[in-house]
Structure 1
């Protein structure tokens, strides 16, 4: 038997086939970390996860686009005809009809060929905004995996019958894995999700078919992952050749280049595992993989040109096309005037982005303005960064945390973006983990302030009242959809007198059943410190703090001097750092209470409506159960207006 390479230990033996009944395990409960990523409390990397889901998706289950449970009936069944032709032939012709999972036209990224007749059933479930499950009949020996702007990956299950004397149900073992498309490279991440198997039968063995015959297979242990680069791979489990998978380069990126010279060319980034990382995988020498030189390898060429309307309106059928593939992330390298063309399975879905101006970059997300040719207007592009080392044994788990964050934001923002005081989500693309948001030519509220530290608001009282009445309606609308924004602050509210206030950024949004530990510290409610809760009262408290700034009762919290700073994630800890964080937050709450008392004490009827004054003081009440509700505020406003 040929030697085996384990990703973690670099030594193992391939298990023999043993028949037992798969065991079930409990599902951990999800919390949301401060940076918007998902985490599982009381679980370190390498411990069990929620079924085949590396991260629970409970907060998505309330919507039609929720990730379905494993026992959900399939949306549709599709027969795949067996094929004797080589799967690798003709794959540069990317525009093929999308088969079997929802219709339309998508672009394929991989082909799977079953390698044994012992596979009795094969199921897949698309992961994205249009999740669907399907059963693949065994007479279909070949399956194409597609990628589109709606899909981030696929879950696979193969039922392997090792004893033909028994029925397929009684004698079958279930192989489970997740495949995730990487936004920065041509690789597909394979995650071992074999949690229902005994420990000795969980490992999946992967051979790169283009590698030297002497190179041993790599063993991928439970909850570990392996980056499958754009070549052919063989999957072996329980001593059986389950299937081969051919991974193809991304062919959905190109540049329309009418007589312009390239100014930048990028090639695939090499991901080197950190030598200091305690979870680093095999050595660079063992894991190094040379780039292929055949036609499957694509490169990136970005062209700079004047962003004229004539170019934006040009048909992609007449524009010259150039292949685009591996940068660290294609959109991260765009600059003023750069144009990137994104192809879909049908020409009608193609679009281009013409880079206009940067907006924001905090390391985890990148925001910039771009002209979207399909939408025909300027949009705000928000990119979720995925800075995962693909050579890391747990890269897929970290990759999924970022992807799940993106899915959650698309889900929540899309459900409430139709409100006039909420920026509309006009599109998204799972291939880049981007959201395309309505562009609004308006400054945010934190810019309506004096210069320097302890900067007070320069907005008029009438403008502040307009912000208040419109935003209360928007927040109530969000809450009616069982969504909590969790990051209401001046920087996330745009304002002009013509448009009124517009709420943006749903990166911290969560369902009411999920407690989010993120947001901006000065707007987090006190009950999070004392009881670990937030919910609707938390959004109301945050807007109350915003109003104290707009009404001139306190400077913009971000500009206070000396500044009170603490880490919200430490508030629930019993460590010395946690105690210090609670002391600092308590000092801040005293400032909020003092500003509220000053507003009530100095209230003048002709300066501010009494209804708004009482509402604001009630919004920053220190006890959540005594805090005024959004519905009560709206009722009081209607009463004051119409009697």
Structure 2
């Protein structure tokens, strides 16, 4: 799920007879190379793309003998040009098209020596180009619309690792004196919104009336480089009339409406804009599975993601939890093109990593994955009948910020989380963000670990997390030898140890120290933990000293406190594993 798939390259060195599969592949490649590549070819801007094809990019290789590397999401389709382009010739033209599926956060381009990725943004029609190779190339806008032929058409050098936000329209990649590829990003496909709401107001109807005056052609808005927050141009709104009725609204790019349909233009994120009891319907297409999702009630919302309870047609008869990543920057943030590009890529890669890792995990003490959709950067998970361990009034006292459970809760929580980590670590994964807020708990279900957003394969570089739960191994030379630097499974054990100090009532909820009005405010940036010109190293050491002092006061004759004492050992290799903790708690048979 979420894999970026590439076909293996066919060998040119074989002397044995070709297999039927290879013959078909070569024939397909030959057909693709026969596509028009000259300046006389129909401009990509002229083609009318059916809205139900889920096509996001049109492609045209330009240099003879420089074929585009094959990819499963690319196929050859027949398209008609807009009226007047072909004259009397109305025959369809063969065009390479990229379909975005529920697994694709980007499309990898490889032609000649150029390698780059085109990232889709679920909140905008723009895409983000990222140069993935070690050589620069030129990028220019070649759209035929006269209004678009401004300074944007001048070639721009895209250096290695550089990024560029691209509006819909045709763009060209050039290497040296050779034009390699034309590609045309398209507006996002339409989705349908079903809502139980009052009938449209007159002002709403007026706006809808303007939107439906469209040719039905999916095309670009010339010079549209508005990267601002989509809150400025979201769904129509109006006063509430006095009767309820079922209403269907087509959320489509503003130029892609059909005459006579009720339409609402969107430039924002359809899932993030969804209101309670509204249903988003994602239509099916070729190789695309359609589904519906109905928002029930919000759970949490931050600048980076929104979480809400929903009904999902992929898991009928039960509620699920939807997590939707946000690629837009806060309206308070001064957003440059570079910041927007970084945000889109970062959120896309976070979604992909979380979905890939989560799909490997199937355990009672880890929230179950139901699905996800790259087109919205959404993840659909099991709904747990429990609240997280930092929830006020339920598990955390308001005045003291101490845990409100008892010793039986503590034992159950440690057992369940050790089971979860044993399973996770056994698959060569690490969570990297163990904390009370990421543990859902009820006495009936037990503890369930959630939020795999920062999870990584073991050995991968880890940059995120929550400061108070990061072990001393993060600071070079502190609590680790030279061969023990970095974070791994023992770091999850340390974080579990800090969580258990809170569960045992030895410390208040650590996260409260990050509130600026707290009398003992203590916060630092994890990324700056080794930068001694910043306050982060000293603040982290202050916190680690507090943890060390609390650890020293634990009763090592008590089984539970002895285990926590071991989990907070400064040296990572001396900490118990999750399996060892289970053996201690449950006997030699270990955990599930």
Q: TM-score, normalization: structure 1?
A: 0.67
Confirm or deny that 1:373 pairs with 2:309.
no
Give the counterpart of 1:588 among 518, 536, 543.
Answer: 543
Structure 1, unaligned stretches of length 5 or more? 1-62, 97-106, 127-131, 160-173, 268-286, 292-297, 313-319, 604-609
Q: What aligned pairs does 1:412-423 form with structure 2 within 5 A after superposition?
A: 412-416=357-361, 418-423=362-367
Confirm or deny that 1:515 pairs with 2:473.
no
Q: Kindly tell me: are residues 440 and 372 of structure 1, through their superposed partners in 2, closer, same or farther at Cα, counting changes over 3 Å?
A: same
- Name 1:354's counterpart in structure 2: 294
**How many Å separate the matches in 2 of 1:511 and 1:502?**
20
**How many Å separate the matches in 2 of 1:523 and 1:213?**
51
Confirm or deny that 1:567 pairs with 2:512.
no
- Name 2:141's counterpart in structure 1: 206
The one-character-per-residue Cα deviations of 1:276-311 (angstroms, maximum 9, x if unpaired) are xxxxxxxxxxx94399xxxxxx99679999xx9x99
Moved more, 380-389 or 366-375: 380-389
Confirm or deny that 1:432 pairs with 2:379.
no
Give the counterpart of 2:326 among 385, 390, 395.
Answer: 385
The one-character-per-residue Cα deviations of 1:320-379 (angstroms, maximum 9, x if unpaired) are 985566323222222223322212315982222222222222212222222223322322
SS of the equivalent of 1:600 reads coil
SS of the equivalent of 2:140 reads strand
* Contact in 2 for aligned 1:186/1:326 (Cα 8 Å): no
**How many Å separate the matches in 1 of 2:403 and 2:492?**
21
Give the counterpart of 1:180 among 98, 119, 123.
Answer: 119
* Contact in 2 for aligned 1:156/1:176 (Cα 8 Å): yes
How far apart are residue 243 of structure 1 and its match?
A: 4.1
Q: Kindly tell me: are residues 214 and 230 of structure 1, through their superposed partners in 2, closer, same or farther at Cα, counting changes over 3 Å?
A: closer
How far apart are residue 382 of structure 1 and its match?
A: 1.3
SS of the equivalent of 2:271 reads helix
How far apart are residue 509 of structure 1 and its match?
A: 1.0
SS of the equivalent of 2:587 reads helix
Moved more, 343-352 or 480-489: 343-352
**How many Å separate the matches in 1 of 2:493 and 2:155?**
51
How far apart are residue 214 of structure 1 and its match?
A: 5.9
**How many Å separate the matches in 2 of 1:547 and 1:508?**
21
- Name 1:630's counterpart in structure 2: 578
Aligned residues: 497
- Name 1:470's counterpart in structure 2: 416
Q: Kindly tell me: are residues 141 and 338 of structure 1, through their superposed partners in 2, closer, same or farther at Cα, counting changes over 3 Å?
A: closer
- Name 2:347's counterpart in structure 1: 402
Q: What aligned pairs does 1:78-97 form with structure 2 within 5 A after superposition?
A: 78-79=28-29, 80=31, 91=48, 93-96=50-53
* Contact in 1 for aligned 2:57/2:98 (Cα 8 Å): yes
How far apart are residue 520 of structure 1 and its match?
A: 1.4
* Contact in 2 for aligned 1:253/1:323 (Cα 8 Å): no
SS of the equivalent of 1:190 reads strand
Q: Kindly tell me: are residues 64 and 154 of structure 1, through their superposed partners in 2, closer, same or farther at Cα, counting changes over 3 Å?
A: closer
Give the counterpart of 1:363 among 284, 288, 303.
Answer: 303
How far apart are residue 181 of structure 1 and its match?
A: 1.6
**How many Å separate the matches in 1 of 2:62 and 2:525?**
52
- Name 1:109's counterpart in structure 2: 56
SS of the equivalent of 1:122 reads coil
- Name 1:482's counterpart in structure 2: 428
Q: TM-score, normalization: structure 2?
A: 0.73
Confirm or deny that 1:218 pairs with 2:166.
no
Q: Kindly tell me: are residues 503 and 114 of structure 1, through their superposed partners in 2, closer, same or farther at Cα, counting changes over 3 Å?
A: same
**How many Å separate the matches in 1 of 2:307 and 2:11?**
39
**How many Å separate the matches in 1 of 2:376 and 2:493?**
34
Q: Kindly tell me: are residues 571 and 191 of structure 1, through their superposed partners in 2, closer, same or farther at Cα, counting changes over 3 Å?
A: closer
Structure 2, unaligned stretches of length 5 or more? 13-20, 78-92, 209-221, 227-232, 249-259, 514-518
**How many Å separate the matches in 2 of 1:627 and 1:392?**
45
How far apart are residue 573 of structure 1 and its match?
A: 0.9
* Contact in 2 for aligned 1:220/1:226 (Cα 8 Å): no
How far apart are residue 625 of structure 1 and its match?
A: 2.4
Moved more, 150-159 or 537-546: 150-159
Q: Kindly tell me: are residues 572 and 615 of structure 1, through their superposed partners in 2, closer, same or farther at Cα, counting changes over 3 Å?
A: same
**How many Å separate the matches in 1 of 2:74 and 2:458?**
28
SS of the equivalent of 1:534 reads coil
**How many Å separate the matches in 1 of 2:489 and 2:420?**
13
Q: What aligned pairs does 1:151-170 form with structure 2 within 5 A after superposition?
A: 151-159=104-112
The one-character-per-residue Cα deviations of 1:566-623 (angstroms, maximum 9, x if unpaired) are 2222211121x2xx4333323322332333333316x6xxxxxx44332121111122
Confirm or deny that 1:528 pairs with 2:483.
no
Give the counterpart of 2:553 among 576, 581, 598.
Answer: 598
**How many Å separate the matches in 1 of 2:365 and 2:124?**
37
The one-character-per-residue Cα deviations of 1:165-206 (angstroms, maximum 9, x if unpaired) are xxxxxxxxx33332222211222333444534xx5xx22333
How far apart are residue 248 of structure 1 and its match?
A: 2.8
Confirm or deny that 1:411 pairs with 2:356.
yes
SS of the equivalent of 2:491 reads helix
| Alignment RMSD | 4.0
* Contact in 1 for aligned 2:397/2:403 (Cα 8 Å): no
SS of the equivalent of 1:359 reads strand
SS of the equivalent of 1:426 reads strand
- Name 2:565's counterpart in structure 1: 617
Q: Kindly tell me: are residues 617 and 337 of structure 1, through their superposed partners in 2, closer, same or farther at Cα, counting changes over 3 Å?
A: same
Q: What aligned pairs does 1:36-185 form with structure 2 within 5 A after superposition?
A: 65=3, 77=25, 78-79=28-29, 80=31, 91=48, 93-96=50-53, 107-116=54-63, 118-125=64-71, 142-159=95-112, 174-185=113-124
- Name 2:252's counterpart in structure 1: none
The one-character-per-residue Cα deviations of 1:428-469 (angstroms, maximum 9, x if unpaired) are 110111111111121111224453454222212112111111
Q: Kindly tell me: are residues 218 and 180 of structure 1, through their superposed partners in 2, closer, same or farther at Cα, counting changes over 3 Å?
A: farther
Q: Kindly tell me: are residues 325 and 146 of structure 1, through their superposed partners in 2, closer, same or farther at Cα, counting changes over 3 Å?
A: farther
- Name 2:193's counterpart in structure 1: 255
Moved more, 585-594 or 400-409: 585-594
SS of the equivalent of 2:501 reads helix
Q: Kindly tell me: are residues 395 and 522 of structure 1, through their superposed partners in 2, closer, same or farther at Cα, counting changes over 3 Å?
A: closer
